[in-house]
Amino acid sequence: MGSSADNRGQTLVGQHMFAELERFEAPDQSFIGHRDIVTRSLARYHAVKPYVYGDILDVGCGRGYGFDVFRSLDGTRTGLDISLQFLRETQRNYASASLVQATGELLPFRSGSFDTIIAFEVIEHLDDDVAFLNELKRLTRPGGVIAISTPNRLVSSGGDKQPLNPFHVREYIAEEFQALLWASFSNVIITGQHETRKAGSSRNRLVDSIPVKWKYLLPSHVQGVISVLIRPPLRISDCQFTGDDLRSAHTFLAICKV
């Protein structure tokens, strides 16, 4: 673990304090059913790369494949996740990264430790979203960048305030997410993630027409396999990020300057 960490967290090797909390939430590149989910996730890392610099912290790094996107950049790499299993996979593939097992509510680093913080698909899991944003600001050096993504409630839960995903505490519509970030940061850019793939468009429309609540009747891994059998492969270039039509975006992606 790098020198920026303090004694509130646990280094990866030999620690099991959060083992019972592990969840199959991070996309797995080796599982065919996660093919398009991995692509969507990687697209977010590519989208923020022009803003990323210096020492990077990836909160909720999962299996760590986001580090691949930043290989050409200078600076240190630190990954934090609640799952010991995911961090062990990351350790095997990215030996140079410092890895810490902790929750999003307790970020075990000294103030001003990082130039860039990535927090993709994390904030919707946490009880206190404002406290989480304050922690991210605490850890970021002046002039630094915080990149945050979260699902659009209108798409992920059909607009219901109670998330369909049992691991989510809350989800946001665009106006709520904007208000939350503008209350914490003076410089915010919010875009929506859309997909533009043409091939198999009739099949895509068929799948997308299924009510979102019905999709949760099947286990997520079964949904994934069915989806990749029906749809053509999603490409990074099919993922577009725009500030227009946030209402229909499946995911919001924000760049916040400190």
DSSP 89-158: HHHHH-TTSEEEE--TT---B-TT-EEEEEEET-GGG-S-HHHHHHHHHHHEEEEEEEEEEEEBHHHHST
Collapsed DSSP state (helix, strand, coil) of residue 180: helix
pLDDT in tens, 129-177: 999 999 999 999 999 999 999 999 999 999 899 998 888 999 999 999 9
Mean pLDDT of 187-207: 73
- Read off the pLDDT band of 196 (50, 70, 90): confident
- Read off the pLDDT band of 55 (50, 70, 90): very high
pTM: 0.83
Phi, psi of 100 (to 5 degrees): -135, 135
Cα–Cα dist 229/165, whole Å: 23
pLDDT at 240 over 70: yes
Structure-block tokens of residue 70: 């930043």
Helices (H), 144-197: 153-156, 174-182
CB half-sphere exposure, 25, CA atoms < 13 A: 20
pLDDT in tens, 61-115: 999 999 999 999 999 999 999 999 999 999 998 999 999 999 888 899 999 999 9
pLDDT at 1 over 50: no
Structure-block tokens of residue 69: 């996107």
Domain segments of the chain as ranges = 10-195+241-257
CATH number for the domain running over 10-195+241-257: 3.40.50.150
The CA-based angle 72-90-249, given to 5 degrees, is 75
pLDDT at 122 over 50: yes
- Read off the pLDDT band of 233 (50, 70, 90): confident
% pLDDT > 90, the chain: 65
Cα–Cα dist 79/68, whole Å: 13
User: Where does residue 62 fall: left (phi above 0), alpha (psi -120 to 50 degrees), or beta otherwise?
Assistant: left
